[in-house]
Structure 1
Amino acid sequence: MNKKEYIAATAEKTDGISKATVEEVLKAFTETITEGLIKGERIPIVGLGAFETADVEERIGKNPKTGQPVNIPAHRKPKFKISKTLKDAVR
C-alpha cells in the first residue's frame, strides 16, 4: 500500500473526512513523532507499538567497493517496537 492508497482507505473508513484532511493529519502525526524522537522521547501508540531511539556506538565498517576500513561515528537511530496486540493480530 502506498501513501495515496493509505490516505484513500483511511478517508473511506472515517465517514465525511476528506482525503486532504487525512493527508494533513498524517503529515502532522509524522512531524510530531519526528519532533519527539529528536528530543529523545518514547512515543507509544496503543495497539500499534512504540517509537523510540537507540544509541549506536562508534565502530569500524568496511567500504563494500574497496574493502577499506571506514570509521562509522556514534549516532542515534530511530526504532519501532511492535506491540503484542499487533503481533498477535498479524499471526
Structure 2
Amino acid sequence: MNKKEYIAATAEKTDGISKATVEEVLKAFTETITEGLIKGERIPIVGLGAFETADVEERIGKNPKTGQPVNIPAHRKPKFKISKTLKELVRNPISFS
C-alpha cells in the first residue's frame, strides 16, 4: 500500500473526513514523531508500537565499491518496536469490517 492508497483507505473508514484532511493529519503525525525522535523521546502508539532511538557506536565498515575499510562515526538511529497486540493480529487476522 502506498501513501495515496493509505490516505484513500483511511478516508473511507472515517465518516465524512476528506482525503485532504487525512493527508494533513498524516503529515502532522509524521512531523510530530520526527520532532520527538530528534529530541530523543520515545513515542508509544497503543496497539501499534513505539518509535524510539538507539545510539550506535563508532565502527569500521567496508566501502561496497572498493572494499576498503571506512570509519562509520557514532550516531543515533530511529527504531520501531511493534506491539504484542499488533504481532498477534498479524499472526491471527480478524476482520475489521
Give the TM interval when normalised to the shorter protein: over 0.9
Distance 1:65 1:12 in 2: 47
Distance 2:65 2:4 in 1: 37
Deviation of 1:51 after TM superposition, in Å, equals: 0.1
Distance 1:65 1:13 in 2: 47
Flag as ranges the 4+ runs of structure 1 deviating above 2 A: none
Deviation of 1:35 after TM superposition, in Å, equals: 0.3
Question: Between the two proteins, what is the percent identity of the paired residues?
Answer: 98
Deviation of 1:64 after TM superposition, in Å, equals: 1.1
Q: For residues 33-76 of structure 1, give each alpha carbon's deviation from its aligned partner in whole angstroms, at most 9, with x where no partner exists.
A: 00000000000000000000000000000011111000000000
TM-score, structure 1 normalization: 0.99
Aligned residues: CA RMSD: 0.3
Distance 1:35 1:67 in 2: 36
Distance 2:66 2:47 in 1: 45
TM-score, structure 2 normalization: 0.93
Structure 2: unaligned runs, 5 residues or longer: 92-97
